[in-house]
Amino acid sequence: MMSEFLTQNVWLLPCYGLLGAMLTLPWATGLIRRTGPRPAAYVNILMTIVASLHGWFLLYRAWQQPAHELLVFHWLQVADLDLDLLLNVSPGSVGTVEAVTSLSLLAQLFALGYMEKDWALARFFALLGFFEGAMVGIALSDSLFLTYALLEMLTLSTYLIVGFWYAQPLVVKAARDAFLTKRVGDILLLIGVVALATLAGSLHFPDLYEWAANADLPPWQANLLGFTLIAGPIGKCAQFPLHLWLDEAMEGPNPASVLRNSLVVGIGTYVLIKLLPVLAMSPATLEALIVIGTVTAVGASLVAIAQIDIKRALSHSTSAFLGLVFIAIGVGRADIAAILLLTHAVAKALLFMSIGSVILNTNSQDITEMGGLWSRMPATTTAFVVGAAGTVAILPLGSFWAMGEGIKAFWVSYPSLVVTFLLVNGLTAFGLTRVFRLVFLGDPQPKTRRAPEVPWAMALPMVALTVVVLAMPLLMKQLGLLSPFQYAYLNNLLAEVLLVLSGAVGCIVCTFVDFSRTGSRSILLPVRFVQDLLAYDFYVDRLYRLTVVFAVSLLAKISAWIDRYLVDGLVNLTGLATVFSGQSLKYSASGKSQFYLLTILLGVSLFTLLMTWPLNQWPLSQWSLEQWSLITGN
């Protein structure tokens, strides 16, 4: 009975996180004060545990079983448009749910120690539950309508959780920029959703796949449709040109950054994978994904190596890695994109937990103020090293197999993309080695001399994720993501050797570079120019201010001037004329009826005279008659 109940009520999975968020409201709103905010955290963690257990059971039942749809309810049915809330139950969707709930559980345990003394702990856990519910819903959604609605929930969640410490002006700016940047992509995505509903007559993914296989759209229409559909994921995944929000979002609490850099940004690519059959109708859209992914992957990798904020350095590497996922989707290899997402999510979550421990104990995010932490925080150091190794393609960890699959797939058809993968892997290795040297090696600095290891609530999820990252190849084999032949033997040996060498070269080169702690900017003008160019993200934000922001501001000023002086001026002129005429006519109101009769008589007489006056006596009519005579010759 319980087995049947859990199978038939899959819709409960996204509700667990939302229910946990609702149950924390009495503490978050201050209705309950005597117990402190920690019970709210326990309630949310309990609901996440229930969601994870439910997900494991469904994964066991759905494993190697055909996918099937589950109708939740009819939301709206008008004419030929039927908006149903459909869920897809398959090994892929349920596996994604389990990845989300498991990482969310570890992030919440980490937050229990990291946010222990924060007065708004209950509100923070409520937002984490909101995050979790939206992501689980997107993983199960089989309707583009439902997916778009949940993506909007993620945008709102990002705004709220980035602006969690709203008393700080920089935090407020970061939350606003993240929200507005995502809104640009969401609005374009909404246009694509509406257009797709009109063209296909349905927003269910199976119906969209069937329509895309038989549709014959003009190239311009298919291209516009594809460009609007990828705009939303571009903003969600912090890809160029909507990438500036992610590093600013690092102003939020670190446990939220754990989820954001491992899961939230990957949800956009998950939506792209679902939309791939529709996007394949437009080769230009797929080419755009490859170009955007390449530019972001290489550019963000370069920007990451010039950051002195430890969280921003890792956030740029997140954008770079997701650029590789965009490349895989643009080539049409959704399987490679899924493997890259899985390996990156686990490794990046571990990296952000380790640097969160460093930030908590040093009260600093500036890597030039750190050093010598390896002997004081051994568990944190181990977690960072394993997370970095899991991010870089190091044999035999998961990222090696994931990136290796990409390189081997592109080896013949897309050799330039092979170069991109190798370059990004080398730059990522260089950037992570740089962070490791400045934070964990060297002499202790004033802020790192007294930095004890973190408490068990933070150490436990780090140790658990460390084991998962190390065991990722075995997990990938059990999930069928790697065939036995691929796992047992190295095929295309040259590709694997180049992949390992790219990471090794990045690490070795970084060991010979002198990173000064006292002077972060070089006194040499060419070196300083390159440093500033990378540190300020190629001045893209300033370029936006000089172009897009300036154009929008100018248009707003012109609209305000027209509204104030033309529209309001015309209305005010009419009002003044009415007031002036009324004020003038009041002096003619004498109250004597004979005067009113005389005025009426004179008016009627004048009107009668004008009506009976001969037409040829009017100067205008005379001129018209003369002109008509000249024209007609009569």
Structure confidence by residue, pLDDT tens digits, 574-598? 888 877 776 666 666 666 677 777 7
Cα 104 from Cα 616, distance rounded (Å): 92
**184 CB burial (10 A radius; 0-12, 13-18, 19+):** middle
**Of the listed ranges 272-281, 461-470, 540-549, the one predicted with least confidence:** 540-549
H/E run at residue 78: strand 68-78
- Tell whether the model's pLDDT for residue 487 goes beyond 50: no
Tokens read off for 35: 């117990």
Q: How many CA atoms lie within 13 A of 371 on its CB side?
A: 12
- Tell whether the model's pLDDT for residue 383 goes beyond 80: yes
Q: Report whether 458 contacts 110 (CB < 8 A).
A: yes
pLDDT score, position 632: 52
**Of the listed ranges 407-421, 435-449, 620-634, the one predicted with least confidence:** 620-634
- Angstrom CA distances, 194 to 187, 228, 269, stand at 11, 10, 20
Phi, psi dihedral angles at 310 (to 5 degrees): -65, -35
What's the rounded mean pLDDT across residues 161-165? 87
- For 595, residues 6+ apart whose C-beta sits below 8 A from its C-beta are none
Residue closest to 243 by CA, chosen among 521, 552, 543: 543
Cα 468 from Cα 102, distance rounded (Å): 11
- Angstrom CA distances, 357 to 88, 212, 248, stand at 38, 48, 20
pLDDT band for position 217 (cuts 50, 70, 90): confident
Beta 68-78 vs 81-89: how paired, if at all?
antiparallel
pLDDT score, position 588: 64
- The overall average pLDDT reported for the chain is 83
Cα 609 from Cα 168, distance rounded (Å): 79
The three-state secondary structure class of 156 is helix
Cα 406 from Cα 335, distance rounded (Å): 10
If you search the block for the tokens 């120019």, which residue do you land on? Answer: 529
Cα 230 from Cα 452, distance rounded (Å): 45
Cα 150 from Cα 139, distance rounded (Å): 10
Q: Report whether 6 contacts 54 (CB < 8 A).
A: yes
For residue 223, give the amino acid letter. N
pLDDT band for position 384 (cuts 50, 70, 90): very high
What's the rounded mean pLDDT across residues 610-629? 57
- Tell whether the model's pLDDT for residue 524 goes beyond 80: no
pLDDT digits (tens, 9 = 90+) for 330-376: 998 888 888 899 899 999 999 999 998 899 888 888 888 888 888 88
For 509, other C-beta atoms within 10 Å of its C-beta total 13
Q: Report whether 234 contacts 287 (CB < 8 A).
A: no
Helix, strand and coil in the chain, % to nearest 5? 75, 5, 20
- For 281, residues 6+ apart whose C-beta sits below 8 A from its C-beta are 212, 215, 217, 222, 225, 226
pLDDT score, position 162: 87
Distance of CA 565 to the CA centre of its chain: 40
If you search the block for the tokens 């583009």, which residue do you land on? Answer: 144
CA dihedral 271, 273, 278, 284 (to 10 degrees): 100
Bond before 396 cis per omega within 30 degrees: yes
Q: What is the 3-state secondary structure (H, E, C) of 191-205?
A: HHHHHHHHHHCCCEH
Q: Report whether 388 contacts 432 (CB < 8 A).
A: yes
Q: Where are the domains of the chain?
A: 1-142, 143-535, 592-634
Q: Report whether 237 contacts 151 (CB < 8 A).
A: no
Q: Report whether 379 contacts 489 (CB < 8 A).
A: no
What's the predicted TM-score (pTM) here? 0.85
Cα 77 from Cα 19, distance rounded (Å): 28
Q: Report whether 24 contacts 125 (CB < 8 A).
A: yes
